Amino acid sequence: DTPPFYYLKPMKKNKESDDSKPHDNSYKQIFSHPQMVEDLLRGFISKKWVDEIDFDTLEKTGGNFVSDDLRHREDDIIWKVRWRNTNEWLYIYLLIEFQSSVDRFMAVRIMVYIGLLYQDLIKSKAIAENGKLPPVLPLVLYNGEVSWYAARELSELIAPFPFGVKKYCPHLQYLVIDERHDYTDEQLTEKLENLAAVLFRLEKSRTKSDTQQA
């Protein structure tokens, strides 16, 4: 089914927490549709490995295997999808971040969320026959007023390790789609058949309208 864009609600003009919450929930509804997730990855992640994904196997996870800790992340969505011609899963952890300010410690948050997800997979025995955990793609969808400037690599937030122990420093990277600043109207218009691009164009148009009325 086509994602229902009517879920998008006008953003309030009150406190930041009130401003972002209805909008975050609307996006959660929209990106609970597999076609939106497929278009998001195909249209906005220019990596060859995206072509190796079997999007027909997209499956939204939740319910009986997601812990209470992850359920409390109301605006996050977890999908899983198989690689082509294999039985191996890729998990997609989609964080919807529409606060007006950037969380400079986002990499730490993501490390915690992925750790919780892995704990749940181990507990529910949802791991491969070889005992390996599945890869997790952490993806932040951001629509804030300023460009995303937080470190995208966890190790950049940690002071230098002295005396040859640098190899023990934790590493983790995440992807960011900054829909308001990373793409021009022309670039989005070129993706005519991409539903995620259509959504981003609507958002940019509404943002311009709100700015003019302010």
Averaged pLDDT, 139-157? 93
Q: How far apart are CA 100 and CA 108, in angstroms?
A: 19
pLDDT at site 101: 79
- Return the structure tokens found at 88: 């191996």
- Return the structure tokens found at 141: 């969808």
- Return the structure tokens found at 207: 């943002």
Instruction: Output 66 or 16, whichever has higher pLDDT.
Output: 66
Tell me whether residue 63 is exposed, middle or buried, using C-beta atoms within 10 angstroms of its C-beta: 0 to 12, 13 to 18, 19 or more: exposed
Choose among 79, 93, 92, 96: nearest CA to 28.
Answer: 96
Q: What angle do CA 172, 121, 94 make, to 5 degrees?
A: 50
Neighbouring C-beta atoms of residue 172, cutoff 10 Å = 16
Averaged pLDDT, 134-152? 93
Half-sphere exposure of 113 (CA within 13 A, CB side): 27
pLDDT band at 103 (very low <50, low <70, confident <90, very high): very high
Instruction: Output 71 or 140, whichever has higher pLDDT.
Output: 140
pLDDT at site 207: 60
Averaged pLDDT, 83-91? 92
Averaged pLDDT, 138-158? 93
Residues whose CB falls within 8 Å of the CB of residue 170, separated by 6 or more in sequence, listed in order = 111, 154, 155, 158
